[in-house]
């Protein structure tokens, strides 16, 4: 595929966070961009406002003629999340068209560039966005394909004038094996996506293969304690090559010191909260140091980093109440998030709203979920979001709820949740999950804002 010849692009699953980034990228290049998704969302509405045509009907009759035959000027991209029986996808196949996965296109885009790839079962979105921001803010510059909406730039794709690209490297479906990073970062490798990998060993092997794709003179920055290593280790231990120490909360803000063999930075202010984000910042500083960015520019970039939408995102932050929304959907992500909440607000009663994501993930990690959700004072559990899966017998939110050692807990519908928050008026409220729980954020913001 020659990207220089592409004039039109069609994306199946255009509303996904990664797919929408590609849609914006090709629109930026001047291509005609269209796509299909199952449902309308804020993200697809934003794409339409930017001049990208989005349809929500799996109907061949509305497919423009230009896309109906194979052409070197037409690029067809799909996400593995779209159903196998999707009429549009099967039509393209029947016509003899070549369909590319998002990861394949990303691999082609980044092949001729200096690539910084950030992988991990969690932490990769915030870390890749933080790296991209420090590079932008310092004047070093970069392009970036991110797995979330950057609060600083209100987009999931950034455009730079140099040859450097920051990529969120997704382990789902082994997508990150299309990349050849100059710098690779691995933030975590907890068991996940077992519906794809079968077991944890195969997941670990996939990360090892990813690190094996780093170019000959490249660097790999790997979190200490993972079952594989890179050229540079990082974390919170002084046995790491780069680590954070003196981590503290002052006036609701996280501060820390960074120490490596050739650089010490003290009293760093991190623009977003969370102990886990301090570790993400250590990886970011290490990348910036390798690129030769001046220490004071790194310091400024960290302090001005505003985070990623749905990653420790403050929705309401008033004297009377705090409401935070987060994407955490794995037990270890939840543990990091809820532990940070306890550190930030030790005197407040913590009300947690959680929506499990996938029946298989709930089944595989039910004991881990039960343990970490018990960190709440009050728990409102929503029904499992199925995504690409069919229901599994016995795997329900009620089943999970029964395993949680907590007195104040219940399964709720979105409507019941809104009424409970109106009545109970929690002063510290969090919503967490990766399904459609984001649909309750706006109404909850309105409710909490009224009593805060």
The pLDDT averaged over each successive group of 10 residues in the chain (452 residues) is 92 93 96 94 94 94 91 94 90 95 90 94 93 98 94 95 93 81 93 60 89 96 94 94 95 94 97 92 98 98 94 92 92 90 92 96 94 97 90 96 97 98 97 92 97 92
| Residue 233 token pair | 């280790």
Identify whether residues 250 and 117 lie together within a single domain.
Answer: yes
Identify whether residues 37 and 58 lie together within a single domain.
Answer: yes
Residue identified by tokens 């920051």 is 166
Identify whether residues 168 and 58 lie together within a single domain.
Answer: no
Cα distance between residue 44 and residue 52, in whole Å: 9
Classify residue 107: in a domain, yes or no: no
pLDDT of residue 332: 87
DSSP 8-state symbol, 43: H
Where residue 318 sits, what CATH number does that domain have? 3.90.190.20
Cα distance between residue 168 and residue 184, in whole Å: 10
Task: Decide: helix, strand or coil at residue 156.
Answer: strand
Classify residue 416: in a domain, yes or no: yes
* Sheet strand arrangement including 74-78: 53-55, 32-36, 8-12, 74-78, 99-101
Identify whether residues 90 and 209 lie together within a single domain.
Answer: no
| Residue 339 token pair | 């532990």
Identify whether residues 184 and 247 lie together within a single domain.
Answer: yes
What does the buried/exposed string (b/e) look like for 98-135 if buried means 16 or more CB atoms within 10 Å of the residue's CB?
Answer: eebebbebbbebbeebbbbbbbbbbbbbbbbbbbbbbb
Cα distance between residue 388 and residue 64, in whole Å: 28
pLDDT of residue 39: 87
Where residue 89 sits, what CATH number does that domain have? 3.40.50.720
- Of 131, 437, 427, give the one whose Cα is nearest residue 277: 131
- Of 432, 441, 252, give the one whose Cα is nearest residue 351: 432
Identify whether residues 161 and 295 lie together within a single domain.
Answer: yes
Question: Pairing relation of β-strands 99-101 and 8-12?
Answer: unpaired
Identify whether residues 9 and 63 lie together within a single domain.
Answer: yes
Classify residue 276: in a domain, yes or no: yes
Domain that holds residue 428: 313-451
Cα distance between residue 219 and residue 184, in whole Å: 6
Classify residue 410: in a domain, yes or no: yes
The DSSP code sequence of 355-384 is: E-B-HHHHHHTHHHHHHHHTT-SEEEEPPP
Instruction: Give CA separation, 168 vs 59, 119, 121, 187, in Å.
Output: 32, 6, 11, 11
Residue identified by tokens 């009050």 is 378
Identify whether residues 383 and 265 lie together within a single domain.
Answer: no
Q: Are 76 and 105 in contact (CB under 8 A)?
A: no
Where residue 179 sits, what CATH number does that domain have? 3.40.1190.10
Q: Are 379 and 420 in contact (CB under 8 A)?
A: no
Q: Which helix (H) or strand (E) holds 286?
A: helix 275-290
Who contacts 120 (Cβ-Cβ below 8 Å, separation ≥6)? 127, 171, 185, 186, 187, 188, 189, 223
Identify whether residues 84 and 233 lie together within a single domain.
Answer: no
Question: Pairing relation of β-strands 428-433 and 155-158?
Answer: unpaired
Identify whether residues 359 and 283 lie together within a single domain.
Answer: no
Cα distance between residue 289 and residue 296, in whole Å: 11
Classify residue 244: in a domain, yes or no: yes
10 Å CB burial of residue 306 (0-12, 13-18, 19+) is middle
- CA of residue 71 relative to chain centroid, distance: 33
- Which residue, 81, 101, 121, sits at the end of a domain? 101
- Which residue, 73, 101, 129, sits at the end of a domain? 101
Classify residue 108: in a domain, yes or no: no
Q: How many domains does the chain have?
A: 3
DSSP 8-state symbol, 308: B
10 Å CB burial of residue 194 (0-12, 13-18, 19+) is middle
Cα distance between residue 359 and residue 340, in whole Å: 27
Identify whether residues 59 and 129 lie together within a single domain.
Answer: no
Q: 3-state SS of 53-76?
A: EEECCCCHHHCCHHHCCCCCCEEE
The pair phi, psi for residue 372, each rounded to 5°, is: -75, -30
Q: Are 24 and 15 in contact (CB under 8 A)?
A: no
- Which residue, 267, 283, 304, sits at the end of a domain? 304
Opening angle at CA 142, ends 141 and 144, nearest 5: 145
Opening angle at CA 315, ends 325 and 329, nearest 5: 5
What does the buried/exposed string (b/e) look like for 36-70 if buried means 16 or more CB atoms within 10 Å of the residue's CB?
Answer: bbeeebebbebbeeeebebeeebeeeebeeebeee
Task: Decide: helix, strand or coil at residue 121.
Answer: coil
Identify whether residues 155 and 294 lie together within a single domain.
Answer: yes
Classify residue 106: in a domain, yes or no: no
pLDDT of residue 122: 85
Classify residue 247: in a domain, yes or no: yes
């Amino acid at each position: 595929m020659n990207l220089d010849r592409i004039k039109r692009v069609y994306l199946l699953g255009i509303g996904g966070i990664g797919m929408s980034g590609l849609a914006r990228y090709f629109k930026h290049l001047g291509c005609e961009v269209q796509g299909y998704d199952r449902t309308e969302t804020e993200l697809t509405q934003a794409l339409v406002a930017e001049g990208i045509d989005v349809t929500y009907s799996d109907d061949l009759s509305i497919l423009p003629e230009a896309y109906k035959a194979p052409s070197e000027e037409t690029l067809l991209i799909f996400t593995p999340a779209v159903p196998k029986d999707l009429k549009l996808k099967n039509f393209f196949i029947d016509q003899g068209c070549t369909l590319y996965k998002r990861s394949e296109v990303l691999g082609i885009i980044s092949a001729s560039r200096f690539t910084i790839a950030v992988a991990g079962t969690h932490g990769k979105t915030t870390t890749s966005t933080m790296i991209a921001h420090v590079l932008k803010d310092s004047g070093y510059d970069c392009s970036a394909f991110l797995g979330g909406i950057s609060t600083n730039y209100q987009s999931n794709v950034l455009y730079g004038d140099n040859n450097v690209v920051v990529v969120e490297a997704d382990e789902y479906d082994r997508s990150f094996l299309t990349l050849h990073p100059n710098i690779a970062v691995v933030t975590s490798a907890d068991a996940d996506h077992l519906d794809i990998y079968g077991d944890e060993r195969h997941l670990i092997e996939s990360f090892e293969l990813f690190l094996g794709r780093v170019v000959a003179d490249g660097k790999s920055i790997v979190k200490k304690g993972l079952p594989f290593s890179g050229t540079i280790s990082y974390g919170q231990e002084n046995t790491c090559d780069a680590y954070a120490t003196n981590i503290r909360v002052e006036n609701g803000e996280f501060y820390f010191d960074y120490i490596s063999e050739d650089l010490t930075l003290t009293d760093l202010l991190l623009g977003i909260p969370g102990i886990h984000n301090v570790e993400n910042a250590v990886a970011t500083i290490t990348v910036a140091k390798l690129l030769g960015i001046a220490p004071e520019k790194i310091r400024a970039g960290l302090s001005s980093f505003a985070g990623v939408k749905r990653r420790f995102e403050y929705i309401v932050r008033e004297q009377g109440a705090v409401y935070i929304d987060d994407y955490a959907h794995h037990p270890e992500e939840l543990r990091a998030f809820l532990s940070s909440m306890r550190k930030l607000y030790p005197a407040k009663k913590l009300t947690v709203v959680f929506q499990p994501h996938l029946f298989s993930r709930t089944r595989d990690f039910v004991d881990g979920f039960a343990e970490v959700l018990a960190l709440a004072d009050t728990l409102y559990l929503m029904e499992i979001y199925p995504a690409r899966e069919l229901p599994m017998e016995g795997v329900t939110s009620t089943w999970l709820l029964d395993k949680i050692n907590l007195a104040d807990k219940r399964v709720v519908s979105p409507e019941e949740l809104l009424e409970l928050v109106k009545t109970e008026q929690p002063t510290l409220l969090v919503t967490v999950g990766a399904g459609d729980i984001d649909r309750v954020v706006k109404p909850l913001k309105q409710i909490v804002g009224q009593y805060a």
